[in-house]
Structure 1
Amino acid sequence: MNTEGVYGLWDALSDFEANQFAAAAAHLMSSLCTATSAWNATWAGAVRMPDPAADDPLQGWRVAAVQALHPVPPHPGDEHFKAILEVWERREIDPSFLLPMRGVGTFRTYSFRRELPASWFETPFYERHYGSVGTHDAVFVAFPLNDDCESHFGFYAGRTFTDAEIALLEQVLRGIKWFHRQLILSHGLMMATSPLTATERRVLHLLLTKSSEKEIGSRLDMATSTAHQHVTRIYRKFGVRSRAELMSIWLNRAG
């Protein structure tokens, strides 16, 4: 992918509507997988919990949202990657978990083959979660949105990523702060008082369109009154009082 290709990808992302955050992320990941010959990609929203334990090697960080480009058989959807995150949540520290902790709060990249010892690739953890599904190497790009919230993209390949491929991932993902912010917002991980539930995210998806609460309820197979309750909770979580105020959060891309 040359410079014009990068600009074209950025332009394509800006053409997605505010409610199409998942589709836009999938398009971005698919395009970069094609450019780097990666077989899969993920996006994850990471947040730092307040008052972490002093002995916590992960400094209170947890992954609050994840989206995979392709499901990993035999697991449906994002379940393969969520299984890795369950180990993270239990604080059963694997050396790969410490890589994102280097330089927290700064834009950075990290990769398995460049930064982990050869012995790690012989461990049961690597074989179970990576080697067994064809991942030889993985590269991650981390973009901080504030002191307690980061956006991470991961790419997985059956061979070692080249320096040029890693540089391309850095270039593409560093130039779209507004997009990282949109993904984080769509899960309620930055401005909301608490993360959005799965149902609230589906309601939000429609709330960012012209759909009325009655139409939202119909499309999601719920009563209009129930849709209204979800809308009210979403407004409360984002600290707004109307759809116009909610939309302004998405439209203020430079914020």
Structure 2
Amino acid sequence: MPATDNSSTHDFWDGLAEFGPAQSSAALEYALATLARLAGAQQAYWMGTVRLSHGADILDGWRPAVIRYLHPREALETNFQAHCRLIEQGRIDPSIVANMRGAGRYRTNLHHELVEPEWYESDFHRVYFVPYGLRDTLYMAMPLGEDIECWFGLQRIGPQQPFFSQADKKSLDHAGRSLKWFHRRLALHYGLRITTKPLAPTERRVLEHLLGGDTETGIGTALGLTTATVHTYATRIYRKFNVQGRNGLTALWLGR
């Protein structure tokens, strides 16, 4: 698979910068699709993780909070939730432990380099990878603070697909290293800076309209809600982000 050239990376950065603060969902879809194309991947996801405590377990309290796929399927969400339950039960796969060893710094990892050859004979691989055709994953982790990290995962699907190469890793490392601003925007969009749980779907939809400048009446018309209900959602959103109204919310998104 050819490595990504600088012009492709710069085109990606320029295209991503065209999306405004109220277009987080569309920007994420663009980012996932472009990174997948650049990496020769068939699937991609963005994941937000939070640290709930320090020193509590082998993951130092880190937990996945939200995930969004380029090509969503109910089975993938089910698989993600199953992973989360295993972590809560203390049944943590060695590949996850290896991925989290560098927490606190930007890093790229290749799944096949995180595991021993015998891992491919394990029950974990058989149950949580084989049914989904997962061949290899290129992970790109970006810390946003002491207790928040955001990830891109690029996946090759199918037994005939090659593992990601060092050239792939180097190219995507370059493409992802400058995206802290974008991860910050997504973390805000999904509420990772204000709660250990992501914002509810309706809260996110109201949030995007608020950032887009729509009136509460207009938001209600667009979403099929009463103006009073929209106002309740808006007040809840302002409180969660600890801002005074829409101007404070917009300023937060723009990093002012």
Q: Give TM-score, length-normalised by structure 2.
A: 0.90
User: How far has the Cα of 1:227 moved from its partner?
Assistant: 0.9
C-alpha distance in 2 between matches for 1:89 and 1:199: 27
Contact residue 99 and residue 110 of structure 1 kept, 8 A: no
User: How far has the Cα of 1:52 moved from its partner?
Assistant: 5.6
1:185-226, CA deviations, whole angstroms, 9 ceiling, x for partnerless residues? 111112x25642222112112111121111212222222111
Please name the residue that 2:243 is paired with: 240
Query: Is 1:57 aligned to 2:30, yes or no?
Result: no
Please name the residue that 2:142 is paired with: 143
Indicate the percent of aligned positions where both proteins have the same amino acid: 37
Please name the residue that 1:109 is paired with: 108
1:39/1:243 Cα in 2 relative to 1: closer, same or farther (>3 Å)?
A: same
C-alpha distance in 1 between matches for 2:44 and 2:234: 31
Residue of 27, 42, 47 corresponding to 1:44: 47
User: How far has the Cα of 1:247 moved from its partner?
Assistant: 0.6
Please name the residue that 1:67 is paired with: 68
1:167/1:142 Cα in 2 relative to 1: closer, same or farther (>3 Å)?
A: same
Secondary structure of 1:182's aligned partner: helix
Contact residue 138 and residue 153 of structure 2 kept, 8 A: yes
Contact residue 141 and residue 170 of structure 1 kept, 8 A: yes
Contact residue 142 and residue 151 of structure 1 kept, 8 A: yes
Equivalences for 1:8-27 in 2 at 5 Å?
Answer: 8-27=11-30
1:211/1:26 Cα in 2 relative to 1: closer, same or farther (>3 Å)?
A: same
Contact residue 105 and residue 143 of structure 2 kept, 8 A: yes
Contact residue 138 and residue 156 of structure 1 kept, 8 A: yes
Contact residue 71 and residue 80 of structure 1 kept, 8 A: no
Give the partner amino acid of 1:138: T
Secondary structure of 1:132's aligned partner: helix
Give the partner amino acid of 2:51: R
C-alpha distance in 2 between matches for 1:66 and 1:88: 16
Equivalences for 1:95-106 in 2 at 5 Å?
Answer: 95-106=94-105
Please name the residue that 1:28 is paired with: 31
User: How far has the Cα of 1:9 moved from its partner?
Assistant: 0.5
C-alpha distance in 2 between matches for 1:69 and 1:89: 26
Equivalences for 1:155-234 in 2 at 5 Å?
Answer: 155-157=154-156, 158-190=161-193, 192=194, 195-234=198-237
Contact residue 139 and residue 152 of structure 2 kept, 8 A: yes
Moved more, 126-135 or 240-249: 126-135
C-alpha distance in 1 between matches for 2:28 and 2:82: 21
User: How far has the Cα of 1:237 moved from its partner?
Assistant: 0.9
1:215/1:79 Cα in 2 relative to 1: closer, same or farther (>3 Å)?
A: farther
Higher relative contact order (CA 8 A, sep 6+): 2
Q: Give TM-score, length-normalised by structure 1.
A: 0.91
User: How far has the Cα of 1:17 moved from its partner?
Assistant: 1.8
C-alpha distance in 1 between matches for 2:97 and 2:108: 13
